[in-house]
Amino acid sequence: MNRETKTVLVTGASSGIGLATAMYFHENGWQVIATMRHPERRHTPLHDRGPKNLVHLDVMDRNSIHTAIQYAVDYYGGIDVLVNNAGYAVYGPFETTSRTQLARQFDTNVFGLMEVTREILPLFRNQGAGVLINVASMGGRIGFPLYSLYNSSKWAVEGFTESLQYELRPLNIRVRLIEPGVINTDFYDRSLDVADQSALPEAYGKILKRGEKRTGKNAINSGTEAYMVARVIHKAATDTGWRLRYPAGSDARLVSFIRRFLPEGLFYKVLEKNMLD
């Protein structure tokens, strides 16, 4: 294969941001390894007009991580960019969430991301270069009501990635954080796990009713299109500087701005009004 052409490996590429990212890089001349848990089940634009390398990778299966990365190295001779995109969200009051949901939330969004990163770093280090892109969230900078598990997992990704930049810069490995806002994808159908609130309907009924107006499925119609996030990811992959954070979407940019400049108490009031009223 041609090492003159850059190669990117994308996790969670079956739909949403991952699919849009794999397509965008392919359309811009990159060699793309599009990974997902069940490539044999997916009939997506990737099959028809996108990259043909659809590879099994489950971020909670170390063997599949190793196999996918080794496949990319064997096929293309190396990997220039890793996009850690695979994700999952639990929605609902924290008290109503289960231990299983908690474990899956962190296994997917944090520990799985870390395992893929651990596997890629020796390759980047031996190459003397690489770009590590972790897809976090606007919810990794601020806490949204009813997304306590998801938010905390994305805050973990933020802290992990921010720390890594200091370790990896001397090795010429660039580290990026993508921070999307609300995205117009099927995430809220495919990757949203709603906690069972039936045992406490009265205690949390009011906030759930208020929250449904601004979160979850009711928010996606005004969300940023996935291809716009893919453009931001491509920019992060091709930038030559050491910038860390890349907000994606007007809401993410606005939240980042007001969080930086508003006093904390006022910020919380603004957020509560916009998220729950």
Q: Which residues are annotated as catalytic? A: 150
Euclidean distance between CA atoms 140 and 154, whole angstroms? 4
Euclidean distance between CA atoms 262 and 267, whole angstroms? 6
Q: Which residues, other chains included, contact 242 with Cβ-Cβ below 8 Å and sequence gap of 6+?
A: 165, 169, 174
Euclidean distance between CA atoms 66 and 180, whole angstroms? 28
Q: Which residues of 31-57 are buried (b: 16+ CB within 10 A; e: fewer)?
A: bbbbbbbebeebebebeeebbebbbeb
Residue 30: both structure tokens together: 């990159």
Amino acid identity of residue 113, one-letter, is L
Q: Which residues, other chains included, contact 76 with Cβ-Cβ below 8 Å and sequence gap of 6+?
A: 1, 3, 7, 31, 33
Euclidean distance between CA atoms 104 and 97, whole angstroms? 11
